[in-house]
Amino acid sequence: MTATLPVCPGAASALPQAGDPRFLVGHWADLAGRTMGRVAPWLVRGIMGLALLAFLFLAVGPHVLGYRTMTMLTSSMSPTIDPGDVTVVTPIAISEVTEGMVITYHKPVEDHSVVTHRVVSVATGPDGSVQVQTKGDANRAIDPWAATLEGDTAYQLRAVIPGLGHVIQALRAPVVAQLLLYGAPALLAGWLLLTIWRPASDDEAARA
């Protein structure tokens, strides 16, 4: 026995044809929705992964591996280190400091701020103290002081990460800090939801 469903006159004409603008809008909207459904989980995972790596590098690594990170504020070492670059330094014995090495130390003048410059001369005193003179690669003159390295270790430049300091400075802005404070938990919750709920694939939808 064959059952037939009644069809109202004009019902077929209510559906948009392939060339109708309404059909094109619906098609592109559906395509954009499916694309976002596939891209969004990976985008969230990527952002969370980068945030985790940055946290490990800046907060955990120095305590576990012993290196230090600092942001270059001046152009005295350009082009080796430009303003906004992040330097990675590791401790070495002061007896290992040699000419040509780039080290980070406290200036013996003014506010005793930290400076990263290249060693141009090394002198060892009778008591075993090590005194260095340094110069910025971009400076014409040697630094107008001689610094005695304190303690048993000095910090030698090992790596330069271009531009990372600008990113760190931007993240410290009040607006960005508030956004991260409230946005990070929401992002994490979204990632967890996307992990639990995955859009059905085209094959699964076809079978359904």
Mean per-residue pLDDT of the chain:
78
Specify the 3-state DSSP secondary structure of 155.
strand
Structure confidence at residue 168 (pLDDT): 78
- With a CB cutoff of 8 Å and minimum separation 6, the contacts of 166 are 84
CA distance 188 to 191: 5
Say if residue 128's pLDDT is above 80.
yes
Please give the residue that has the higher pLDDT: either 14 or 164: 164
Q: Which of 1-15, 71-85, 88-102, 190-204 shows the lowest per-residue confidence on average (mean pLDDT)? A: 1-15
Q: pTM of this prediction? A: 0.64
Give tens-digit pLDDT for 38-93: 666 666 667 667 777 877 887 888 888 889 999 999 999 999 999 999 999 999 99
CB 168, CB 177: distance < 8 Å: no
| pLDDT band with cut points at 50, 70 and 90 for residue 145 | very high
Question: What pLDDT, on a 0 to 100 scale, did the predictor assign at position 11?
Answer: 47
